[in-house]
Amino acid sequence: MFFYQLLAGLSVGCIYALVALGYSLIFASIRLLHFAQGDLLMMGGFFALSMVLGLKLGLYTGIVMVMVAVAVLGFFIERIAYRPIPQRMIAARIMATLGIGLILRNMAVIIWGPQPRGLPPQVFSGPPIKLPGMVIPPAYYLVLIISVSIMILLTLFLGKTKLGLAMRTTAHDQNLAELMGIETSRVMSLSFMIGAALAAAAGMLVAPVTFISQNMGFRLGIKGFAAAVLGGFGNIPGSMIGGLALGLLETFGGGFISSGYKDCIAFVVLILVLIFRPSGILGKFHVEKV
């Protein structure tokens, strides 16, 4: 029992971690708290539905196609809606993300209909792993393997490639990056696209646990944000740890309180971390000085 809960917590945590990574990446690169991240996740879920049921793609090609599709969508969203608003107008930028969320949610209803739908369970199929005394169903380990490999690829990309270095430089100091000859405009687009693709992957991987519906994004989005804050906002390894920690906390903490209040855990964690340790688990604390 304990082992199954651990497994469930870890796989939910991985999904939170993917969403959290998306938030962190976008915030680090264009200083935008992307309220529509949950809606990009929802688009990922619906695209997955179309890829699997319509184009008859398998899990691995499907997830790559979903990520590419949402990344392209993200490119246009960022260029059309977010780029024209100056970075200092925080409220207007939040408003723009809310507007995009509204459009995406209702476009999804127009295209895919209002009923919640599920991916067929055969998508996440494979030989169940037999351990002494227990059997691990394929959905769990597939979610774990795919999300962990996405995170490893992302870490390698950011750490080892020239483009990753350009992204980190731009996130660190945009003016400096421009002086170094980096085309920050393109790099910022790319960062946003990767952030969108991460949300899309989470939207497909969450299918074994939840239905795909127009409102699936909101709760998952804010929980992913809580995970990002928990690990230190804008901090890549922190987001992964924060996601896993939140997933485990919810799974094990949910046993102590009634299941209706389980959703509150993430929100309470979010508020507590923002108040008592705004820099998160791994972040450094900055005090503004005159």
Partner 1 sequence: MVKPQTFPMMIAFVLLFFLPSLSGNNYYVLHVSIMVGIFVILSQGLNILFGYAGQISIGHAAFYAIGAYASAIAAHHFSFPFALALLAAVLFTSLIGFLLGITCLRLRGEYLAITTVAFGEIVQVILTQWEEVSGGPEGFLTIPKAHLSSFIVDTPEKYYYLTLVITVLIMILTRNLASSKLGRSFQSVKDDILAANIMGIDTTRVKIVAFVLSAAYSGLAGSLYAHYSRALLPDYFNLSLSVLIFMMVMLGGMGTLYGPIVGAILLTVSFELLRALQVYQMVIYGIVVLLVTIFAPEGLVGITRKMFRKKPVNAVQP
Region 69-88 residues binding partner 1, contact defined as CB under 8 A: 81, 84-85
Helix (H) or strand (E) holding 1: none
Q: In the complex with partner 1, which residue's Cβ is closer, 58 or 114?
A: 114
CA distances from 51 to 56, 58, 64, 256 (A): 6, 8, 10, 39
In the list 56, 127, 275, 285, the residue contacting partner 1 (rule: CB under 8 A) is: 275
Separation of CA 7 from chain center? 19
- The 8-class DSSP code of residue 187 comes to H
Check residue 136 for interaction with partner 1 (CB under 8 A): no
Q: Which value, in Å, is the radius of gyration of the alpha carbons in the chain?
A: 19
In this structure, what DSSP letter does residue 283 have? P
Phi, psi of 130 (to 5 degrees): -100, 120
Neighbours of 236 (CB within 10 A): 21
Query: Quick one: tokens of 171?
Result: 């996130």
Q: Exposed/middle/buried for 123, CB within 10 Å: 0-12, 13-18, 19+? A: buried
Measured from the CB of residue 155, what is the shortest distance to partner 1 in angstroms? Answer: 25
Task: Kindly state whether residue 258 participates in binding partner 1, applying the rule CB under 8 A.
Answer: yes
Question: Segment 187-246, which members bind partner 1 (CB under 8 A)?
Answer: 218, 222, 225-226, 229
Among 132, 133, 255, 260, binds partner 1 (CB under 8 A): 260
**Least distance from C-beta 46 to partner 1, angstroms?**
14
Smallest separation, CB 147 to partner 1 (Å): 23
Contact segment (CB under 8 A) with partner 1 among 98-106, 185-193, 199-207, 242-250 equals 98-106
Which of 100, 119, 123, 240 lies at the binding interface for partner 1 (CB under 8 A)? Answer: 100
179 touches partner 1 (CB under 8 A)? no
With CB under 8 A as the contact rule, the residue among 72, 109, 134, 156 that binds partner 1 is 109
CA distance 83 to 23: 17
Is residue 148 near partner 1 by the rule CB under 8 A?
no
What's the min distance (Å) between Cβ of 236 and partner 1?
A: 19
- Cβ at position 262, least distance to partner 1 in Å: 9
Return left, alpha or beta for 31; rule: phi > 0 is left, psi -120 to 50 is alpha, else beta: left
The alpha carbon of residue 38 and the mean position of all alpha carbons in its chain are separated, in whole angstroms, by 8
Q: Does 278 bind partner 1 (CB under 8 A)?
A: yes
Which segments within the chain are labelled E, that is strand?
A: 129-131, 134-136
How many of the other CB atoms lie within 10 Å of CB of 122?
9
Give the shortest CB-35-to-partner 1 separation in angstroms.
Answer: 8
Query: Binding residues for partner 1, per CB under 8 A?
Result: 33, 81, 84-85, 89-92, 94-96, 98-103, 105-107, 109-110, 114, 218, 222, 225-226, 229, 258, 260-261, 263-264, 267-268, 270-271, 274-275, 278, 290
